[in-house]
Amino acid sequence: MAASERILGVEGGGTKTAWALVERVTDGLRVVDQGKLPSSNFRLTPPDRLRFIFHQLPQKVDRVGMFLAGCGADDRHSLEMLCAEIWPSAKIVAGSDRNSGLAAALGRGDGIAVNAGTGASVTGRRGERIEKAGGWGHILGDAGGGYFLSVQALRLILREYDLHRGEAQFTASILRALSLNSRDELVRWAQTADKMEIATLSPIVFEAARNGDSNVVRIIEEGAEVLSEYTAAVASRLGLLAPKVILLGGLFKRDSLYVAAFRRKLKKNLSDARVAMSEQSPELGAAWLAAELEERTTFSFETRGAETENLARALTEQRNPRSENLEKLSTQGLVELFVDEEKFVQEALRKEVGALARGIEIVTKALHKGGRLFYVGAGTSGRLGVLDASEIPPTFGASPEMVQGVVAGGVSALHRSVEGAEDEPGGGALAIEERGVTGADIVCGISASGRTPFVLGALAGAKKRGAQTILLTCNPTRIRTEAFELEIDLATGPEILTGSTRLKAGTATKIALNILSTGAMVALGRVRGNLMVDLAITNEKLRDRAARLVMEFGKCDYVEACERLQKNGWNLRATLRQDSTLGDGM
């Protein structure tokens, strides 16, 4: 086997598709790259989407280990054939995520792997014999996984409310996490949420247990109890009296509370078991299986200093000398500093007036021809894009499809951080594919540093589809590796709080988006003078505003204005057009 042989290991589950690219070295395998993509389940994910996900993975490889949830023994050949379409020259090894988890936990040795993530499963081996428990899917099984715990917690909220009007604090925590306002809204959300969305509530469940909520503690204990019973049953069937039990998955990895609960329960069911956390992740287990090694090996990791150095050089990451003693300032001094720093926002915008004007022209031309504008960002940048896009329909009466926001991590990222969502360019490309971007559209990537992988991946995907691209950044000194139709660089400088780009960079970005979208809507004729004549009249405030506009242009009183609007179905433009004094402008 050549020393330069490249091996791709992939483990796909209900929450994510994790991958690692490794190379063989003299003392084992070296990880040269790794990442995460959206979930992939062989039974639940359509083949075309699997193909697209696979296309986002490294392509120049000699071996591929592809191990997906939902892939049974009868499915392996189909998965191998699908992989062969993507990597025709590579040697393919395929199977279930149980296989990669077992390899990561035990290599080819005997023992039991307990995996608790979105779902949960227990897999044991003794010699050539394999025994399994759990892992039947979220409808009938997966007890002990994140979905199971979260559903039990949601049921607890409603049960305790019905019986005792209880669990107010835990209910508030769940509502806060989901940005919902009532139990009724929570029920409606749960009725449409998929298993991954529900499973993401598990950190809130564990937080409540750590804070001493006895009802929630019982849910955690129940999950640990089920997994310990499965483990004991597998050990019994295999005849393992003192098995090595290795824990994998996000629940065990993130929360020591669950590890402790499992250890405690297993002690009662299998007192001599030796419990430990897995030293390797399942995607490394997948790579190890693809390498077809007989013995377990060590993995070394290649440093990625260049990328870290590029970020460190970003203007937004520099320390601001004017705020180095921030904690020592008086309250008034802090406010004065914030106000003073805003002048850099104005200066940055003024320097880019020409680019912003060009941006309006590009966007207007695309929208006029029936195209759409997509904002793409991560974190604050993504939220600002979604915010601006969401304001277009009510302000200008435009279709929600005309201007859309795409944020790394999806809707959950609008109200809480989604771990690692911005780090994978393939995720951005997938988002562009899912939205059906075409050559008629325009995609505006928003990234304070100008280097966010999710954003750059989305822009690259848009260019492949023939769409026009804009990159909006606050880092004019960045290294430029791609060319776009337009680049807008707002030099807002170092933040008061180092690296917190929700401050000046966020303010400047919001204003820039205001300019682009409002300028395009003005050019498209959705404004008369400085009046919103196409606004969507959806509440009392807007009905009053519309009536006052009709009073002004129609020379009538308030009652008659409301009557005219009612006759036109509260369509302001149609009502105003009936007044001959407005001419052809409406």
Q: Which of 1-10, 384-393, 440-449 has the lowest mean pLDDT?
A: 1-10
pLDDT at res. 309: 54
pLDDT digits (tens, 9 = 90+) for 340-382: 999 999 999 999 999 999 999 999 999 999 999 999 999 999 9
Give mean pLDDT, residues 261-276. 94
Cβ pair 232, 122 in contact under 8 A: no
Q: Which of 283, 422, 424, 487 is catalytic?
A: 422
CA distances from 471 to 166, 267, 459 (A): 50, 56, 8
Is 292 labeled as catalytic in the residue annotation? no
pLDDT tens digits, residue range 223-232? 999 999 999 9
Lowest mean pLDDT among 177-191, 193-207, 287-301, 442-456: 287-301
Mean of pLDDT values over 270-290: 94
pLDDT at 290 over 90: yes
**pLDDT score of 583:** 46
Is 422 labeled as catalytic in the residue annotation? Answer: yes
Mean pLDDT for the chain? 91
State residue 423's pLDDT score: 82
Beta strand extents in 255-408 (DSSP E only) = 274-277, 299-301, 373-377, 403-407
Give pLDDT, residue 436.
92
Residue type, 392: I
Query: Three-class SS of residue 495?
Result: coil
Q: What is the arithmetic mean of pLDDT over 223-243?
A: 96
- Contact criterion met (CB below 8 Å) for 86 and 75: no
What percent of the chain shows pLDDT beyond 90? 72
Q: What is the DSSP code string of 91-143?
A: EEEEEEHHHHHHHHHHTTSSEEEEEESSSEEEEEEETTEEEEEE-S-TTT--T
Q: Is the pLDDT of residue 585 over 60?
A: no
Residue 340 Cα distances to 47, 344, 346, angstroms: 55, 8, 11
Q: Is the pLDDT of residue 6 over 50?
A: yes
**Per-residue model confidence as pLDDT tens digits over 523-569:** 999 988 888 888 888 889 999 999 999 998 888 999 999 999 999 99
Q: Cβ(359)–Cβ(516) under 8 Å?
A: yes
The confidence band for 311, taking pLDDT boundaries of 50, 70 and 90, is low
Confidence band, pLDDT 50/70/90 cuts, at residue 407: very high
pLDDT digits (tens, 9 = 90+) for 133-190: 998 887 887 899 999 999 999 999 999 999 988 778 899 999 998 889 999 999 999 9
Ramachandran category for residue 114: left, alpha or beta (phi over 0 → left; psi -120 to 50 → alpha): beta
As a whole number of angstroms, the distance between CA 171 and CA 8 comes to: 43
With contact defined as beta carbons under 8 Å apart, do 234 and 123 qualify? yes
Encoding tokens for residue 45?
């994910």
Amino acid at 471: L
Distance (Å, whole) CA 366 – CA 373: 8
Residue of 325 and 482 predicted with greater confidence? 325
pLDDT band at 419 (very low <50, low <70, confident <90, very high): low
- Name the active-site residue from 221, 391, 560, 563: 391
Residue 579 has pLDDT above 70, yes or no: no
Q: Alpha helices of 246-313 — where are they, by DSSP H?
A: 250-254, 256-269, 282-291, 305-312
pLDDT at 494 over 90: yes
pLDDT band at 312 (very low <50, low <70, confident <90, very high): low
Predicted TM-score (pTM) of this structure: 0.83
Give me the pLDDT at residue 44, please: 85
Q: What's the whole-number mean pLDDT along residues 453-459?
A: 95
Region 572-582: mean pLDDT is: 74
Instruction: Flag whether pLDDT at 58 surpasses 90.
Output: yes
Looking at residue 303, what is its pLDDT? 62
> What is the pLDDT at residue 200?
87
